Amino acid sequence: MSRKWRIVVGSDDAGLAYKEALKHDLEADGRVARVIDVGVHPEGTTDYPHVAVAAARLIKEGKADRALLVCGTGLGVAISANKVPGIRAVTAHDGYSVERAVKSNNAQVLCFGQRVIGLELARRLAAEWLGYSFDPTSNSARKVDAISTYEVVREDATDEASLLESEALASSC
């Protein structure tokens, strides 16, 4: 049996129409166990950073597996979600980027821009996204681990990240 995802959806008012359509699609998809809507809701307005961070925190806290966020461009929600340590959010408007975001980068958050991508393409990409999983034994795993070393707040981790960065620069010369 395949995994059943717990998905957070969120948007600002510029992405509300797509968020509502994608939420409906996710709720009808048998691969989804639960959809958690962090807003914005039709009767309100919320700036995208608040929605994106709320969604990312649910993933970090283990209350959700992934998030699908929409704003005007998909960029603001991605930047905001990435402020939560351990979260990897991407904006992707094509199938290859959506696939690689999960398979190569273990991105938990997919962001769309309602002013950038057509609704039918967004629906197709969201459906494809549910079928992708990260392989922790892949060659990409060590790269994702390297990204994570830059997020650690301890001084020794900063030193470790600096050392890794120095080694990478030295080997590229």
Residue 15 tokens, joined: 């992405």
111 is catalytic: no
Region for residue 132 given its phi and psi (left: phi exceeds 0; alpha: psi -120 to 50; beta: otherwise): beta
Active-site residue, selected from the candidate residues 58, 68, 71, 92: 71
Give the number of C-alpha atoms closer than 13 A to the C-alpha of residue 132, restricted to the C-beta side: 23
Closest-CA residue to 149 (of 134, 168, 162, 130): 162
Active site residues: 71
